[in-house]
Chains A and B, each alone.
Chain A
């Protein structure tokens, strides 16, 4: 019987020829990761296990990105706890401030997440790496502690959902973010609960890696266990020169079984806005231009990559940020920051009136660097618009792609890039 790409990766890591949805397996892990919020709990549990060492110091990644650079004394203590652990166990992939980036931008960039990998991370957006054709899923700190100790994790093999995109006529200003928001709007925030979301079709292959990362990043917002895109030439080009170990490319079989297949014509997708307080509350930008905003955030593990910044800068070039708007841009990694500087993107952003921050998850989860006051509204390229996500419980977050964010920063309300195009 045919298998999906997710099933093939899990079978290979469980040392089995074949696996089927529902089956419980114990799988070997290629990488385990945690951040300054989740690692402290993991480390506490790891110590209880009484293990001398992590299973493989080259396959553990610890990234201080959430409340780092340290936002207060308590955060400093948490970061220190993780740093001390990394030093004590000689963890190779600990990234100090200065090298640090937002984990899901940083690890692919460093070639630490590769096609065919089986990865767990104590962060729900670990599913991002599915864009490389890897099985990657978020877990809690206890599972991560066990993974750090043993290099293994148990899984229930998920059923797969296929999102088959077709069509050639793209609407203007549509990117990966709009595809995934559109899907979540259709199936809901638990529409893929416990399942694998597989994205296929010519429109997916037409997208850049940066756009594919955005799509897989938000699979969790539909409740999925993982999101995945089979590797193609673009994937291989991306990992070439980054990969420092062997990897394997998997593709779904033609006769693989899916719990459901969704056919989506790309022509039906317009730039999307997710209204508070769930990512499933989607409308088109056209239906949203009445919404006045106070802050615009461009960045995060969802949309903080070079292409995102470039696209935003192209819209902002020659324009000024509205006087009642605070535009905060946070590049995903130091490399992205430098590349954006070399290209003149950062200068364009600052010229337009943006504040550009060092890489951090800060504002996305209401941690620091852009918290909202009571009654304030933000439009953000981030991934969640839950109650209180970016600050006060009575503030609001709307989600969109980087070009819509840029145009809205100029006009002070949700706007289409068409309205500011020169």
Chain B
């Protein structure tokens, strides 16, 4: 699968309280959470995002709490994937478990600028910067993980396999 969208740049150590502030965790409805995605960094972010857009960030993206609401909010607001120099451990696992594609590339995190048009190939891990005519390499996920992401996450993947 190939994701294409505009890059939204964030810094390093973007924590889960920035991705979805705890004051909105009195619900777990994806559409509700989406409204407040990245709100404490950019209050209008949810309105500005176009479907398919991509978050590009520095090291340790998603540090902090275990709230699965964080990747859920990113997915529900219409972002297609996250590219970061590195991911915090719990966020990494949560993102895959709910079917949000994420890619690690320190080079992409530095070179991609806000607003660049980006294309990510999930199969090869190649990140093309269409605006700057550059490309960067992330480690691609093995086929089972790509399937899991495509299924929409772990539970749907397991349920789908059981139904076969």
Q: Are B90 and A138 in contact (CB under 8 A)?
A: yes
Q: How far is the CB of A35 from chain B (nearest CB, A)?
A: 10
Binds A, one of B22-30, B45-53, B75-83, B116-124: B22-30
Residues of A within 8 A of B25 (CB): 37, 66-67, 367
Q: Is B150 an interface residue (CB 8 A)?
A: no
Q: Is B101 an interface residue (CB 8 A)?
A: no
Give how many B residues have a beta carbon under 8 Å from the other chain's beta carbons: 39
Q: Are B63 and A190 in contact (CB under 8 A)?
A: yes
Q: How far is the CB of A326 from chain B (nearest CB, A)?
A: 19
Q: Are B94 and A142 in contact (CB under 8 A)?
A: yes
Which secondary structure dominates where chain A touches chain B?
loop
Q: Are A40 and B17 in contact (CB under 8 A)?
A: no
Residues of A within 8 A of B28 (CB): 40-41, 44, 78
Residues of A within 8 A of B63 (CB): 189-190, 223
Residues of B within 8 A of A38 (CB): 66-68
Q: How far is the CB of A304 from chain B (nearest CB, A)?
A: 17
Q: Is A124 an interface residue (CB 8 A)?
A: yes
Q: Are A386 and B88 in contact (CB under 8 A)?
A: no
Residues of A within 8 A of B43 (CB): 393
Q: Is A206 an interface residue (CB 8 A)?
A: no
Q: Are A71 and B66 in contact (CB under 8 A)?
A: no
Q: Is A122 an interface residue (CB 8 A)?
A: yes
Binds B, one of A45-53, A260-268, A305-313: A45-53
Residues of B within 8 A of A75 (CB): 26
CA distance A371 to B88 in the complex (A): 27
Q: Are B17 and A388 in contact (CB under 8 A)?
A: yes
Interface membership of chain A positions 67-90, coded 1 if the CB is closer than 8 angstroms to chain B and 0 otherwise: 100011011001000000000000
Q: Are B40 and A387 in contact (CB under 8 A)?
A: yes
Interface membership of chain B positions 24-67, coded 1 if the CB is closer than 8 angstroms to chain A and 0 otherwise: 01111000000000011101000000000000000110011111
Q: Is B15 an interface residue (CB 8 A)?
A: yes
Neighbour of A190 across the interface among B66, B69, B88, B155, CB < 8 A: B88
Residues 86-103 of B contacting A (Cβ, < 8 Å): 86, 88-90, 93-94, 97-98
Q: Are A190 and B60 in contact (CB under 8 A)?
A: yes
Q: Knowing A49-B155, A278-B13 are in contact, say whether A141-B68 is a contact too (CB < 8 A).
A: yes
Neighbour of A143 across the interface among B41, B97, B158, CB < 8 A: B97
CA distance A365 to B89 in the complex (A): 20
Q: Are A386 and B60 in contact (CB under 8 A)?
A: no
CA distance A135 to B77 in the complex (A): 35
Q: Is A225 an interface residue (CB 8 A)?
A: yes
Q: Knowing A143-B97, A386-B15 are in contact, say whether A41-B89 is a contact too (CB < 8 A).
A: no
CA distance A71 to B159 in the complex (A): 35
Q: Is A21 an interface residue (CB 8 A)?
A: no
Q: Are B26 and A124 in contact (CB under 8 A)?
A: no
Interface membership of chain B positions 136-156, coded 1 if the CB is closer than 8 angstroms to chain A and 0 otherwise: 000000000000000001111
CA distance A49 to B97 in the complex (A): 14
Q: How far is the CB of B26 from chain A (nearest CB, A)?
A: 4
Q: How far is the CB of B106 from chain A (nearest CB, A)?
A: 13
Interface membership of chain A positions 104-141, coded 1 if the CB is closer than 8 angstroms to chain B and 0 otherwise: 00000000000000000111101000000000001111
User: Can you list 28 contacts pairing A with B, beta carbon distance less than 8 Å?
Assistant: A48-B159, A49-B159, A67-B25, A67-B26, A71-B26, A78-B27, A124-B66, A140-B67, A140-B97, A140-B98, A142-B68, A142-B98, A189-B60, A189-B63, A190-B13, A190-B86, A193-B88, A193-B89, A225-B89, A366-B17, A367-B23, A386-B17, A386-B64, A387-B15, A388-B18, A388-B40, A389-B22, A393-B43
Given contacts A48-B159, A140-B94, A371-B23, 14 further A-B contacts (CB under 8 A): A40-B28, A49-B158, A49-B159, A72-B26, A122-B68, A124-B65, A124-B66, A141-B94, A225-B89, A365-B65, A367-B23, A387-B17, A389-B22, A391-B23
A-B interface, 8 closest residue pairs, ranked by CB to CB distance from nearest: A140-B94, A142-B97, A74-B26, A140-B68, A190-B60, A365-B22, A393-B40, A388-B40
